[in-house]
Amino acid sequence: MKKTVLMGLMLLLGIVNVLGQSGVSVQKCKTCNKPLKECKYKGKHPSSSSSSSRQKNTSYLRVNGSSNEINTNCTNSSGCTFVYTVATNAQDYTVSSSNAWITFRDKKKESFTVEIEANRLTRIREGYFTVTAGGTQVKVNVKQIGAAKQRATYLYLDGSPDDQVINCDSPDGCSKTYAISTDTADFVVMALPSWVKVVQKSLTSFSVRVESNPSHRERNDFFWVRAGGMQVKVKVHQVRRPRTLAKGVSDVRFSAGMGMRVSHTSVGFSGPTVGGVFNYAVNNLSGIGTTPNYSSGIGFDAHALVEIPITGGFGLATGLGLSVHNFSQQFQSSEWSFTTDNWNTAYGITQSSKEKYRITSLDIPILPQYRISLGNGNTVLSIKGGFVFGIGLSGKVRLNTQIRADNQNSSGNNTGQYSESTTTGSANLYTGSYNFTQRYSRGSSQTYTMNGIATNPFDRFNFSLRLGADFEFARFYVGLTYDIGLSNIANDSYFSNVSNQIPGFFHYGTPRLMSSSLPLKNYKQRIGSLLISVGYRF
C-alpha cells in the first residue's frame, strides 16, 4: 500500500514538471529576466537611470516658497546678504549668476546664501541669478541702490589728468578706449558730438566710436569725461573724405587766400646813367654818374590753388594768382651844371624826381610741395618751391619832378635863381603811351603839356622762382613766400635807343628829346617780392 502511494506521488511530480516545460508561465524579474526565486535582488535592482529619470521628471521647484520669478532689493550700497530656501523633489539643484557682484556661499540641500557686493556706482544697478533643479528653473532679479555722490580728488584718463585728443586718421571711422582712474563711485561721458558714440563703459574704462565721415571737410569737436566735480576734455579730430579728381588721383585739396606783397626791383646797366623809364642821363650834365635808387613798396595778392597729392606727403600745387607790385625810383641832385644845347648859357640845377610804379600781373605757379603733419594731425606744415609764370595785365609809372635853375657866372657860381618848375605825368609800361605837364612856378608863366607814344619800356612776361611755406591749423593757414625774379622785364629796344624813349625834362624850356641824351646801355631790371598771406583750405 505504501509503495503504491509513493509511486503515485512521483508520477504526479513528473506530470507537473512536464507541464512547466511545455508553456506554463513562471513569474520573472523584469531587470535580469530570471525567475523571481532565482533573482538576487528579487526584482528590485539598484539603477542610475532610475534617479536620472526621476530628476528629469521633477514635478516642482520652489525658492523661498515660490515657483515663479522673484524680485529682491538690496537697499544698502555697501552690500547685502540673503538666505534663500529651496524645496524640490530632485536629488540636487544649481545656482548661477549673470553678474560678478552677485556671489553664493553655504549651499545646502534646502538653502543657500547670496552675497551682494558693494556698489561704487552712484546709480541703481540691476542683475539676476537662477536656481535650476531637473528641468525646472526659478529666476531671481536683484536691484541695488547706488553709492552717495562724493567729490573727486583726481580724475585720470590713461594715467593723465590733461586734456586728451583722438586723432581719427580714417574717414571711415575709428575707435578709442580710455582707462579711467578716479576716487569717486562713477564717471559720466557727456556732451558727445553726434558722430561720436560710447560703445562700452565699465567702472574702470570706456570706449568710443568715431563714425564714418561722409563729407569732404575735416571734423573737429570735443566731449567731456566728468567724475565728482572734476572733468577732462577730449578733443576729436577726423580727416575728411578725399575728393577724387580722376582715377588714381584722390585727396585733392582746394585753397584760396590773399595777402600783402612787398615788391622790389634790381637793376643792372653800363655807362654814365641814372636809370628809370624817364631816362635821366644826358651828356651835358656834369657830375651825374648816379646809380638807380629803387625803393620797395607794398602791394596786394589774391590766389586760388588746387593741391594734387602724388605720393606720401609729396604733391603739386598750381592755380591762378593776381599780384599787384608797387615800387619806386627816386633821383635827387644839387649843384650840377647844365649848358643849353643851342647857346652857351650855364645854369646850376637842383632836382628831385620820383617815379612810382604799379604792375598788375596774372600768375600761374607750378609748385612741388611737401606736407608734414604736426602734433595732433590738425596742424600741417607745407614746404614748397617752384616756378611762377607771370603775365602783365597792366603797368603804369607816375612821375613827379621839381627842378630849380640858378644862373651861373663864368666861374660856375650861382648868381641868382632863374626858374623853378614842377613836372607831373604818367606812362603806360606796356604800350609806351605817355602824358605829362610841366608848370613853371617861377621864372615863367608857361605850362607845357606833352603826350605821345614811345616804345614800350617793359615786357609783359615775367618768370620767377618761388620758395615758401604754409602753416595750417584747422583748415586756416598763414603763408610766407619769396619770389626771385629770373627774367629781365626791361625792353632793350626802349632803353638802348634814345629816339624810342619818352622826352626828358632836365633843361629850361619845352620838354623834348635832347640830342645829347645817352641811352641806358645793357639795362636790365628784375622784380622780386615777399608775400605774407592768409587763406582757407576746403
DSSP 63-119: ETTBSS-EEEEE--TT-EEEEEEEEESSS--EEEESSTTEEEE---SSEEEEEEPP-
Contact criterion met (CB below 8 Å) for 107 and 132 = no
Sheet of strand 111-116: strand arrangement: 61-63, 80-88, 111-116, 102-105
Q: Rounded distance, CA 34 to CA 36, Å?
A: 6
Contact criterion met (CB below 8 Å) for 181 and 202 = no
- Nearest to 438, CA basis, from 482, 405, 479, 391: 405
**DSSP, residue by residue, 463-479:** EEEEEEEEEEETTEEEE
Topology of the domain covering 155-238: Immunoglobulin-like (2.60.40)
What would be the CATH architecture of the domain defined by 61-144?
A: Sandwich (2.60)
* Per-residue pLDDT at 283: 40
State the pTM of this model: 0.56
Judge whether 61-144 and 155-238 match in fold. yes
* Per-residue pLDDT at 518: 64
Query: Alpha-carbon torsion 116, 119, 124, 127, what sign?
Result: negative
Q: Locate the domains of the chain by residue range.
A: 61-144, 155-238, 244-537
Give SS3 for 494. helix
Chain position carrying cell 625803393: 295
Contact criterion met (CB below 8 Å) for 267 and 524 = yes
DSSP code of 500? Answer: G
Show the CA angle centred on residue 265, arms to residues 259 and 268, nearest 5°: 160
DSSP code of 149? Answer: P
Contact criterion met (CB below 8 Å) for 201 and 179 = no
Type and span of the H or E element at 378: none
* Per-residue pLDDT at 52: 45
Q: Could you count the other beta carbons within 10 Å of the beta carbon of residue 483? A: 25
- Nearest to 454, CA basis, from 261, 196, 279: 279
Give me the average pLDDT of each 10-residue run along the chain (538 residues): 59 54 58 69 57 54 92 91 93 91 92 92 88 91 84 91 93 94 86 94 92 88 92 93 55 90 87 65 47 86 92 89 94 63 62 90 96 76 95 94 78 74 90 87 75 92 96 91 95 84 60 56 89 92
Cell output for 71? 524680485
Q: Rounded distance, CA 144 to CA 242, Å?
A: 50
Q: Please provide residue 168's backbone torsions phi and psi, each rounded to the nearest 5 degrees.
A: -95, 105
* Per-residue pLDDT at 353: 82
User: Which amino acid, one-letter code, is at 504?
Assistant: G
* Per-residue pLDDT at 23: 46
10 Å CB burial of residue 105 (0-12, 13-18, 19+) is exposed
Contact criterion met (CB below 8 Å) for 89 and 161 = no
What counts of helices (H) and strands (E) characterise the chain? Answer: 3, 29
Give SS3 for 432. coil
**Residues paired with residue 452 on neighbouring β-strands, in sequence order:** 434
Contact criterion met (CB below 8 Å) for 376 and 167 = yes
